[in-house]
Chain A
């Protein structure tokens, strides 16, 4: 099973700051999903990236997939307290089209 490494593990910033979190692997991703888990809730899918070099935007969130498909980043512009949560990346397991393996996540706290 491919190991997904997320960094940083924890991030605490002030409202209005920008930030970037990362998801890396030693192997090539078939595709990559990003989820956000708010405190006390289940993870919610934000985006799926498939093609190397792909960039997707979701309001103030920008997702990039590395050209070699071995890394991905999530950039948040002008963070708000509502962005607080655990950000998880996940990849389909070994060619499966349904099972996922998850990284351990980046716990983001945005202070007002």
Chain B
């Protein structure tokens, strides 16, 4: 089992560009999450999904959109990147509250 995978691992964007981060899990988990991690701020929940076809806002959803068309995939989109979105992004999945994380995507917006 690969667990939770994320692509890409690194990305540099210019302000105003768009991109999509892909998360995939092979554990048949219902719940999936996107977090961002910034120094001194801890892990903050951006959006989450409780099942295929569903999404919900987390603590810091502004500037991001998500989709979960297939149970195993959870996509995070940035429509118009801003320097404030420079961060490390983690995807996670779970059957209940114990979460399994991907290796992260380091995004820099210049």
Answer whether residue A97 sits at the interface, using C-beta atoms and an 8 A cutoff.
yes
In which size bucket is the chain B interface? 20 to 34
The secondary-structure label for the interface of chain A is loop
The reply to whether B92 and A103 form a contact with Cβ atoms under 8 Å apart is no
Answer whether residue B74 sits at the interface, using C-beta atoms and an 8 A cutoff.
no
Residues in A68-112 with C-beta less than 8 Å from chain B: 88, 92, 96-100, 102-105
The secondary-structure label for the interface of chain B is strand
The reply to whether A45 and B99 form a contact with Cβ atoms under 8 Å apart is yes
**Which stretch from B39-47, B64-72, B75-83 is at the chain A interface?**
B39-47
How far is B45's CA from A96's CA once the two chains are assembled, in angstroms?
14
Answer whether residue B31 sits at the interface, using C-beta atoms and an 8 A cutoff.
yes
The reply to whether B103 and A31 form a contact with Cβ atoms under 8 Å apart is no
Q: How many residues of A contact B (CB 8 A)?
A: 20
Query: CB-nearest residue of chain A relative to B90?
Result: A42
How far is B31's CA from A41's CA once the two chains are assembled, in angstroms?
21
Query: CB-nearest residue of chain A relative to B58?
Result: A99
Which residues of the partner chain B approach A31 to less than 8 Å between Cβ atoms? 97
Residues in A6-54 with C-beta less than 8 Å from chain B: 31, 33, 40-45, 48
Query: CB-nearest residue of chain B relative to A30?
Result: B97
The reply to whether B103 and A42 form a contact with Cβ atoms under 8 Å apart is yes
Which residues of the partner chain B approach A44 to less than 8 Å between Cβ atoms? 101
CB < 8 Å neighbour of B42 from A40, A42, A92, A102: A102
Q: How far is the CB of B4 from chain A (nearest CB, A)?
A: 8
The reply to whether A103 and B42 form a contact with Cβ atoms under 8 Å apart is yes
Contact with A along B9-22 (1 / 0, CB 8 A): 00000000000000
B interface vs A, CB < 8 Å? 4, 31, 33, 40-43, 45, 48, 50, 58, 90, 92, 94, 96-104
Besides A88-B43, A104-B41, 15 other A-B contacts (C-beta < 8 A): A42-B4, A42-B102, A43-B43, A43-B90, A43-B101, A44-B101, A45-B100, A96-B97, A97-B97, A98-B96, A98-B97, A99-B33, A99-B45, A99-B97, A100-B99
